[in-house]
Structure 1
């Protein structure tokens, strides 16, 4: 593995570079809120060891540019291998988690033992800590943000599905990690799962905000894209289901898409009226829905659907065409964002048994990226579901990262 500079030759003061970073506007996702990005490290606290992760772990307290255009408090985990770094410093894997909650700030990696915001605790074995351990064992430093609006310091709502917020959470984490730890390399890649897989797809457009650092590539595992198409597919599958239980499960998944998008849009635009895209039954769940971690939040919608059955008043048929929602999806869903492109190397891994992010919709998205010139490697894993993809794709992910950091 080769590196472009030596940490020992870089003055410590340089690590505290650019509390106000110059922004760029490279794609539609960056246009609305691009501008100076005030990122400042505030303090660092030690974190307890995580079983299976052989790393020194610290929690970085810092600021980042929020969706409202102002600095907001944020927290990011920094995990560094034990022992001395390689020449050039530890390369950085900036890792982004999936949907741990629609809006409860305690459902964050730094606040849970498995680094997954409660997914494993609540019944979805995420393997997030295992994956982070694999990166550490490969001699990478891992930067893992709680995300804007999540974690112990959060004071603003979680802007769920905001592509620029997800990207800037990673960028701010990487910049402040280097401010706190001079033994890090200036080369970094991003890895994300599910909504984190969606989020890392937005980093390339904003990567220059991490001034002086070299962004080398993206790994997206089951990225959560094509939202309107997913909702439509779940609805159609529910209508065609042969059993009531299967029909209710698919209806719940359809409503879950809209509830998440309404939550994200409301956080970014408080004037948005949820009633403009949904009926009273789904609207009545939203306050409780937003206060829970993901597994319980799914359960709230599932119980509401079960109680009403086919009479459930949920998403309007044209919900995604409501003007504010249409603009929100066009700005944040790479599958429909006008002009969305990727020019740096990218790996997308997807399971064909994933019940949440469907391979039948992921493959057309990957095909579109390739047709638009993306240097994309796309791999589908037989029998992999939404979480088992992490272990099944691990060797390919590590090989991809090795190749990018060796360039």
Structure 2
């Protein structure tokens, strides 16, 4: 899906100006009437280093062509903004879930995001952290891992925030994202030219989600290896529950973009109700429901063991809607003109290093304009969590170096 940059630019423009000529009318508008800014509660550590800590509400165009309400967190440093405004770093969050209560603006700021945002603010950057389309808006579903929705969520947040905050925010920006946010950061890099009048500096993608079908197959293979002994069976269930949970959230994303999609196109009939929890619960709870179901399955002595458990339709990857969504929303489909740093832990079972190296990196090599614009940093034995927690300072420094080039 090589979408024209002009189309994305029109989406940002429509979202910011509420133009009636952008294909939206009163029947297509899903706007929540709220004030544009509310204070986002932070703890004492954060309060010491930030000035503004806001939840900012604004309009944007959805993937279905409707005007919807969107939300973003905005953090600014202490003191007076420099001439030209605080340069902007976008923080693209990892998977929290598809339910509105999972929007970061509705949750407490916690590690490792807390340390990252504090580090960036202390370096002199305003941090804009969008919830993404549909999160934080009770009337709109979240199109999880939808490439242009993710890009538009980031570009619209920047454009609308600067319109509201004025010269306090600058026009130079970069983006850093983790997992789902790594996917979103790469999407923003592809479509950044749609944000007219700004200077894009580059991207840091941490364990970026990509090639979901291959990730699922690889991850389940790893889970089956761990299932071979009683001692490691809990690890197998942990991995499997996470992967099935992500498959459920992806299904909710397909439905958000294509309301005719049904969960039974991906999941077995007796697992559909579990998968539908993706619309109601956050990602840890969705994963836990699948782990509970695995435990129930294993409690039967005649079930054939862990490897016999099935939640997905045997040929779900051949379903036309699933296949189209997965292929159309792969990152690195358009030319990327600025530097891209990719951080990947070799011990990651959620976004396996093999998927990033074998599938995503070749696409990025083809997408970047210059060979030295792609910098891959593998971290030995780092997991999906420790790639963030153990390398926060390095990640902040990498963003800082991008912004200063």
TM-score (norm 1): 0.83
8 Å contact 1:281–1:313 — kept in the other structure?
no
User: How many Å apart are 1:168 and its aligned residue?
Assistant: 1.1
Matched, 1:295 2:284: yes
1:322 aligns with one of 319, 324, 345: 319
5+ unaligned residues in a row in structure 1: which ranges?
Answer: 1-24, 116-125
User: How many Å apart are 1:48 and its aligned residue?
Assistant: 2.9
Q: 1:235 & 1:50 partners in 2: Cα distance?
A: 39
Q: 1:208 & 1:341 partners in 2: Cα distance?
A: 11
1:355 aligns with one of 346, 349, 353: 349
- Secondary structure in 1 matching 2:399: helix
Q: 2:365 & 2:105 partners in 1: Cα distance?
A: 39
Matched, 1:39 2:28: no
RMSD (CA atoms) = 2.4
Q: 2:280 & 2:364 partners in 1: Cα distance?
A: 39
Q: 1:387 & 1:247 partners in 2: Cα distance?
A: 17
Q: Aligned residue for 1:208?
A: 193
User: CA offsets per residue over residues 240-285 of structure 1, 9 Å max, x none?
Assistant: 3313624434433442342222111011111112212321232120
8 Å contact 1:160–1:260 — kept in the other structure?
yes
User: CA offsets per residue over residues 324-360 of structure 1, 9 Å max, x none?
Assistant: 11110111122xx7x4443311111111222211112
1:230 aligns with one of 215, 221, 241: 215
- Secondary structure in 1 matching 2:70: strand
User: How many Å apart are 1:219 and its aligned residue?
Assistant: 0.8
TM-score (norm 2): 0.83
Q: Aligned residue for 1:344?
A: 338
Q: Aligned residue for 1:405?
A: 403
Matched, 1:110 2:108: no
Per mean C-alpha deviation after superposition, the further-off stretch among 359-368 and 267-276 is 359-368
Per mean C-alpha deviation after superposition, the further-off stretch among 75-84 and 350-359 is 350-359
5+ unaligned residues in a row in structure 2: which ranges?
Answer: 18-34, 299-305
- CA distance 1:403–1:254, shift in 2 (3 Å): closer
User: Structure 1 or 2: larger helix share?
Assistant: 2
Q: 2:190 & 2:66 partners in 1: Cα distance?
A: 20
2:93 aligns with one of 69, 92, 97: 97
8 Å contact 1:234–1:250 — kept in the other structure?
yes
Matched, 1:59 2:40: no
User: How many Å apart are 1:373 and its aligned residue?
Assistant: 5.2
- CA distance 1:34–1:80, shift in 2 (3 Å): closer
Q: 2:323 & 2:367 partners in 1: Cα distance?
A: 26
Q: Aligned residue for 2:394?
A: 396
- Secondary structure in 1 matching 2:71: strand
User: CA offsets per residue over residues 77-127 of structure 1, 9 Å max, x none?
Assistant: 1100010123332110011111111x2101111112226xxxxxxxxxx41
Matched, 1:133 2:128: no
Q: 1:340 & 1:134 partners in 2: Cα distance?
A: 31
